Amino acid sequence: MERAVPDYPGNFYMLGIIHRDRRNPDIIRQWLEKLKPDVITVEVSRYSLDFRRSAGKMYREKLDGICSCLSAEGYGPANPCFEDLYAFLETPPEFTAADDYHRRNNAFVYPVDMDLFSFLKLRSVGELINGENLRKALTGASENIGTTERVLADLFFHKGVAAFSYDEEMA
């Protein structure tokens, strides 16, 4: 029987994580240091990395302004919804951990998610980070929204943005 994959003189490891889990950077760093891989793949698309590098600062500043305006109403950066949005705009910590390891150890890092899906989800971020939309979501003024969980579900299912660590992959 022929092998579809050429022999590679090494071991293959796969580390599964829950996206946006705050423990990821430490867990990933520990495993990378223990396993010492030569090649790392990360479930993130090049498009999403480029998007965050080029537009992340602009959207964070926009979100800062919205938080400032809504802080008088009791909503600010410490609100879980805003925390998740800020985290969403950052380079995913799992990629940062792999990239740090790559710089120290000359390992190869490859983003392996599909650009099309990232484009489809990220194209509506400007609509998502909108003062009036966020006010409605936070105050329950929208007929479809009430609790924080419903806000986050609305962001994912109606806006296409996963702003929380539980998503349909886990269902």
Q: Which of 8-12, 13-17, 76-80, 104-108 has the lowest mean pLDDT?
A: 8-12
pLDDT at 110 over 90: yes
Which residue stretches of 90-147 are H helix? 93-105, 115-122, 125-128, 131-139
Q: Which residue has the tokens 């946006």?
A: 20
Q: Write the pLDDT tens digit of every residue in 111-160.
A: 999 888 889 888 888 888 888 888 887 776 555 444 555 666 666 666 66
Who wins on pLDDT, 31 or 15? 31
Who wins on pLDDT, 132 or 61? 61
In single-letter form, the type of residue at position 21 comes to D
| Full-model pTM | 0.70
Q: Which of 10-19, 28-37, 127-136 has the lowest mean pLDDT?
A: 10-19
- In whole angstroms, give the CA distance from residue 81 to residue 75: 9
**Residue 150: per-residue pLDDT:** 61
3-state secondary structure at position 108? strand
- Phi-psi category of 96—alpha, beta or left, where left has phi over 0 and alpha has psi -120 to 50? alpha
Q: Across residues 158-170, what is the average pLDDT?
A: 53
- In whole angstroms, give the CA distance from residue 107 to residue 104: 8
Q: Dihedral angle at the C-alpha atoms of 110, 113, 118, 119, nearest 10 degrees?
A: 80
Q: Which residue has the tokens 């950077």?
A: 25
**Residue 100: per-residue pLDDT:** 97
Q: pLDDT band for 166, please (50, 70, 90 cuts).
A: very low
Who wins on pLDDT, 61 or 70? 61
Partners of 40 in beta bridges: 109
Note whether 29 and 96 are within 8 A (CB): no
Q: Percent of the chain scored above 70 by pLDDT?
A: 75
Q: Please state the domain extents for the chain.
A: 39-165
In degrees rounded to 5, what are phi and psi of residue 160? 75, 20
Note whether 40 and 107 are within 8 A (CB): yes
The tokens describing 102, both together, are: 């790559």
**Residue 171: per-residue pLDDT:** 40
The tokens describing 120, both together, are: 């489809």
